Amino acid sequence: MPTPDRNLRSVDLPADWAPDSWRARPALQMPTYPDAAALAGVQAELGALPPLVTSWEILALKQQLAEAQEGRRFLLQGGDCAESFSDCTSDVISNRLKVLLQMSLVLVHGLRLPVVRVGRFAGQYAKPRSADMETRGDVSLPSYRGDVVNGPEFTPEARVPDPRRMVKAHARSAMTMNFVRSLIDGGFADLHHPEYWDLRWVTHSPLADEYHRMVSGIGDAVRFMETLSGSQVHNLNRVDFYTSHEALLLPYEEAQTRQVPRQWGWFNLSTHFPWIGMRTAALEGAHTEYFRGIRNPIAVKVGPSVTPDQLLALIDVLNPDDEPGRLSLIHRMGAAQVAEKLPPLLEAVKRDGRRVLWICDPMHGNTESTSNGFKTRRFDKIRGEIEQSFDVHAAAGTRLGGVHLELTGEEVTECTGGARDLTDVDLERAYRSTVDPRLNYEQALETAMLIVRKQSQLGSAVRV
Ligand code: PEP
Ligand code: CO
């Protein structure tokens, strides 16, 4: 439950805002539903269903993000590019959780900071697309926009936006949340049993060995403490896990935007931590309008074309009261551009004294196509963007407080490079993503390790 002071009204309710005031603004990336009455019916149905998260969890996360802004925590946000209804299975969910838990342990141990764990899951079902229509041969159909909108199959039936899919997305999100919560409440994240997080198929990996050595060192330390104190060290058996998704499909988000007893203002109760994607972050756009009125902590993706003035104007609208924990900026410049494009933004925000949490997404600026026709990302570029981001922040006197990654616990080959040095040819072996290429287990663990290495080289850029 929230402490009473968390509920003090420290910021003003935005004037002229309502959960549907976004409708008066240009809404990019929205599907065209053929049946407006069916859409309205689904919105009413969703509005009456129980929420997926609670306001006190949302406010607890905001508090943790405020601490991350001050350098007292590090944020790990990760999961699929797009969840799919068919991947809502116990294996996919628990394997992804295992990878995130292992990464967070590496980060806690190496950075000596508590980690805020946020999944890109339990609602990551809507995708922005570069074109409204997809053409194959002489057939043009609406583009696939994620399972909450339409189906990926290239048939007219699958591609017609169907509002009933929102009800299914809500149910799958609830099942995912329920399973994650039950695993954690049941002791899955217990530090006394890190073997619970081992992935069955990972054998003989040099990184897994390094990871296990670290885990056994931690286990020894825990046992030592417990022997010394004669009792169990508390709070090692559970962790906080929060959810996030791109709040792209505004009719879905609007239907789950509510007021709750004993709280002021409005909450999006479909997720703890929604973000605005790069393509929908226009100042005058519908997404910015929607986001300014909810009390959740929020994030915005910031790409290489954003200017310092645009960013400051967006911050004015989204966090006019400079509320701690409210706003995170996820930069995704690409390894080739980060050194040039990021410094002016950091300097402008710093000069204006704005309170934000800076997060690096090293995935979305580094997507390319291979000669054998796969969308991939090279691990060297992902590493390069992370390392350069740490350097750029250190030079600007700002703090990189988290990473945002696309990863999976499944045994896939979608990104090249990494410890096993996957090549373009390996992509043919186990490429499963319907949208963007994800880090597999080893590449994800390696990413956590490289963050620790980079941070320790830099010394105190993330201070305790
Ligand atoms: C994403 O996070 O999957 C995405 C589409 O990112 P961006 O908005 O940064 O392009
Ligand atoms: Co993506």
The verdict on the CB of residue 278 being under 6 Å from ligand 1 is yes
Whether residue 147 is contained in a domain is answered as no
Residue 338 Cα to ligand 2 middle (Å): 18
The verdict on the CB of residue 364 being under 6 Å from ligand 1 is yes
Q: Are strands 74-79 and 115-120 parallel, antiparallel or unpaired?
A: parallel
Rounded-to-integer distance, Cα 458 and Cα 464, Å? 14
Choosing from 366, 414, 436 the residue with most ligand 1 atoms within 8 A of its CB, the one to mutate for a pocket test is 436
Whether residue 44 is contained in a domain is answered as yes
Whether residue 68 is contained in a domain is answered as yes
Nearest CA to ligand 1 atom 4: 277
For helices 90-111 and 441-458, the axis angle rounded to 10 degrees is 20
Find the CATH number of the domain harbouring 264: 3.20.20.70
The verdict on the CB of residue 245 being under 6 Å from ligand 1 is no
The verdict on the CB of residue 170 being under 6 Å from ligand 1 is no
CA distances in angstroms from 424 to 56, 376, 408, 410, 447, listed in the order given: 46, 8, 19, 19, 20
Q: Tell me which residue range forms the domain holding 351.
A: 21-131+162-463
Whether residue 5 is contained in a domain is answered as no
CA distances in angstroms from 108 to 111, 226, 464, listed in the order given: 5, 20, 12
For the chain, state the CA radius of gyration. Answer: 22
Number of structural domains (the chain) is: 1
Residue 172 Cα to ligand 1 middle (Å): 21
Whether residue 157 is contained in a domain is answered as no
The verdict on the CB of residue 277 being under 6 Å from ligand 1 is yes
Whether residue 373 is contained in a domain is answered as yes
Q: Which ligand is nearest to the CA of 438?
A: 2
Whether residue 253 is contained in a domain is answered as yes
List the shell of residues around ion ligand 2, using CB closer than 5 Å: 81, 436
Whether residue 48 is contained in a domain is answered as yes
- Kindly give the confidence (pLDDT) of every residue in the chain, 464 residues in length, as a single tens digit, with 9 standing for 90 and above: 444 445 556 677 787 999 999 999 999 999 999 999 999 999 999 999 999 999 999 999 999 999 999 999 999 999 999 999 999 999 999 999 999 999 999 999 999 999 999 999 999 999 999 999 999 999 999 999 999 999 999 999 999 999 999 999 999 999 999 999 999 988 888 877 777 777 766 666 777 788 888 888 887 887 888 888 887 766 666 778 999 999 999 999 999 999 999 999 999 999 999 999 999 999 999 999 999 999 999 999 999 999 999 999 999 999 999 999 999 999 999 999 999 999 999 999 999 999 999 999 999 999 999 888 889 999 999 999 999 999 999 999 999 999 999 999 888 899 999 888 888 888 988 998 878 999 998 899 999 999 999 999 998 544 43
